[in-house]
Amino acid sequence: MRSLTATRLAWSSFGVTAALLVAMTMLSAGREPVFDTILYGLLPISLATVGALVASRHPRNPIGWLFCGLALYGVLAETAEGWGYFAAEKGLPAGELGEWIILWSWIGDIAVWTVVILLFPDGHLPSRRWRFVPWISVAGFALALPGQALNPNLGAEFTGGTNPFGVEGLPTGLLFGAGMALLLGGLLAAIASLVVRFRHARNVERQQLKWFAYAAACIGIMGPLAVAFWYQSVLVQVVFALAINGLPIAAGIAILKHRLYDIDIIINRTLVYGSLTSTLALLYFGGVVGLQYVFRAFTGQGSSLAIVATTLAIAVLFNPLRRRLQVTIDRRFYRKRYDAARTLEGFSGKLRDETDLETLHAELLSVIQETLQPAHVSFWLAPGKEGDD
């Protein structure tokens, strides 16, 4: 496909997605919380934007086109759901069809994301032996779709209270169970392929995989929290929405190679401040509970001084604890950079005290060899001008 044709097609897909998103928002307005409508609309627009960018710049990489397809597929399903509620309210046709589509549309998302993971980042399989994974996903989709879509026991959330397309006597439970087993098996195999890629990757590809793995890890951490506290905390909803949208964005950064090496800094800061936040939270709650116990033991009642004292202690501990965690994480996960920093620190101390040029020459060459590990090192000292000391 020519670059100009690919660009037009990709951005046309983005335009259709955006138009459908506007229609979905209008149909859903007033029929669900505004906050939910915004969250549902973020992922299609993220996928459409990243998909258009990748497809227009790398038209031979199928991941960009898969993202464009996912965006259209998702926003069509959400628009169908909005139409279903609107049609049921106004007595218009095809309302039940719209509600029915959203019942099973998520199954296709799993199958397509499995293929995306398997092809990331260059659009090719890791090797020919992974060709079975897409076929597993296709088989799982073919079984799970009728098992979900035709199940007469589902659809309590429909306006009519039942699934209008349910088929009695069909072993929908068996079909759905077998299909989901295949889909999840394919997804796990695709994740395993990423691990295999990472073990054999070098330089740029390794950084690309780090971006994707980081975004996936954020979803893995926030997913259980979202399931447990979705209706109790707006913050959890927001953070989970950001995590979900972070996956296509991270994939786009990786494929387009934009600020690729920043991922090491992001991972480092996440480890440091994530550990710091967790440690301080435990210290805070432990300090408050412990001091309240002490106050009750001596005075018979709790005191707000426990909260004040614990807060002051946390403020004092923040910077020393952050520095300590930074050193620990650098030593454990970034050993080369940690050793290089220590070497340069030691050389700086010698540089302040040493005046012999031959000794400095030998020390400087040693530091360069140890930190940068070049294939060849040359040292040239410019001759001084006449009259210089």
SS3 (DSSP) at 101: helix
Q: Is the peptide bond before 374 cis (omega within 30 degrees of 0)?
A: no
| Encoded amino acid at 89, one letter | E
Cα separation of the two ends of the chain: 68
**CATH architecture, domain defined by 3-258:** Up-down Bundle (1.20)
Contact assessment for residue 183 and residue 144, using Cβ atoms and an 8 Å cutoff: yes
Burial degree of 270 (CB within 10 A; 0-12, 13-18, 19+)? middle
Provide the sign of the torsion angle of the four alpha carbons 1, 204, 121, 131, taken in this order: positive
Contact assessment for residue 46 and residue 245, using Cβ atoms and an 8 Å cutoff: yes
Report pLDDT digits (tens) over 136-171: 999 999 999 999 999 988 877 777 778 888 888 899
Encoded tokens for 185: 């098996």
Instruction: Give CA–CA dist 255/239, Å, rounded.
Output: 24
- pLDDT on residue 258: 85
Q: Which residues of 30-43 are buried (b: 16+ CB within 10 A; e: fewer)?
A: eeeeeeebebbbeb
Residues in the chain with pLDDT values less than 50: none
Alpha helices in 58-170 (DSSP H): 62-90, 95-119, 132-149
For residue 298, the 8-state DSSP code is H
Provide the sign of the torsion angle of the four alpha carbons 132, 134, 137, 143, taken in this order: negative
**Extents of the domains making up the chain:** 3-258, 270-333, 338-371
Provide the sign of the torsion angle of the four alpha carbons 305, 307, 308, 313, taken in this order: positive
| Encoded amino acid at 336, one letter | K
Alpha helices in the chain (DSSP H): 3-28, 34-57, 62-90, 95-119, 132-149, 172-200, 203-229, 234-256, 262-299, 305-333, 335-353, 357-371
Closest CA to 241 of 25, 41, 67, 5: 41
Region of residue 155 (left: phi > 0; alpha: psi -120 to 50; beta: else):
left
The structure's pTM equals: 0.78
| Encoded amino acid at 309, one letter | A
Encoded tokens for 91: 């007595």
- pLDDT on residue 358: 61
SS3 (DSSP) at 217: helix
Contacts of 356 (CB under 8 A, 6+ apart): none
Phi, psi of 29 (to 5 degrees): -60, 125
Closest CA to 212 of 275, 272, 182, 256: 256
Contact assessment for residue 52 and residue 58, using Cβ atoms and an 8 Å cutoff: no
Encoded tokens for 139: 């088989």
- pLDDT on residue 44: 92
- pLDDT on residue 222: 86
Encoded tokens for 209: 């995989």
Closest CA to 98 of 6, 153, 24: 24
- Return the residue matching tokens 């996903």: 137
